[in-house]
Amino acid sequence: MKEPDYENAVAITRDIHWVGFYDHDARLHCNPYLLIDEKDVILFDPGSIPHFPIVMRKIIDLVNPSDITFVVAHHQDPDVCGNLAILEDIIERPDLRILAHSNSVWFIRHYDLKSSVIAVDDIDYRLRLQSGRVLEFLFTPHLHSPGAIATYDRKTRSLFTSDIFGAVSRDWSLFAGDDFLEPMKEWHQHIMPNNHLLRGFIERIEEIEIERILPQHGSVLEGANIRKAMEFLKELPCGYDLIGK
Ligand SMILES: [Fe+2]
Ligand SMILES: [Fe+2]
């Protein structure tokens, strides 16, 4: 498959776009995504301060920043939320809402934000957009953060998993190739708490129809790679399972 042009935003579906930064020298790539619905625009995990100029340029190529109505922060890490305060200044929209789990909201407030931060657990883990499209949030506690969530877009059967299904490697591609399991292994062994919680999450999403997994690091998984990754992570010892071994 021809490599996408990483200098620009990359369309993953007709309305979901990768707006991240391909840093050739880094092993950890961050993947912010923009979902452009009929009347709402949702930005997922906008990212860090150093990545902000590139991420924002790609967003501006697609929409007017003030069209962004929601930002989903899947957890509170600096690679997810670091640029939120600059971002909201550029979006300049008094009704901008930032969505996160209440366990993350405690920390996200320390980024000194002006916008309303809404806890997804206070809105029944569902967001209905103006078009009627519904985004569902899945609470994934301690994978790896106590307030971690994932987002499921039923319309495109896309699951935004943030750090889960992430990966680290210098040889990065936006869409997973054949050898994506090793980079995924290293990431999960370092970042995730144990196999028990990881396996529980995978078993939970086995009930959902998934066409693509969009993690915040590593590569987008589609087709047979989804099942391959799930089976791999279900058996992978990580975090505390490995301490002292
Ligand atoms: Fe994280
Ligand atoms: Fe992350």
Q: Is the pLDDT of residue 245 over 80?
A: no
pLDDT in tens, 154-167: 999 999 999 999 99
What confidence tens digit (pLDDT) does each residue in 105-140 have?
999 999 999 999 999 999 999 999 999 999 999 999
Interval between CA 93 and ligand 2 midpoint (Å): 26
The residues, any chain, with a CB within 8 Å of residue 222's CB and separated by 6 or more, are 175, 176, 211, 212, 213
User: 217 CA to middle of ligand 2, Å?
Assistant: 6
pLDDT for the residue 4: 93
70-79, 171-180, 181-190: lowest mean pLDDT where?
A: 171-180
Sketch out the chain's domains with CATH numbers: 10-242 (3.60.15.10)
How close is the Cα of 79 to the center of ligand 2, in Å? Answer: 6
139 three-class SS: strand
What pLDDT score was predicted for residue 1? 66
The per-residue pLDDT of the chain, averaged, comes to: 96
CA 43, CA 90: separation in Å to the nearest integer?
13
Distance from C-alpha of 52 to C-alpha of 4, rounded to nearest angstrom = 21
- What is the 80 CA–ligand 1 centroid distance (Å)? 7
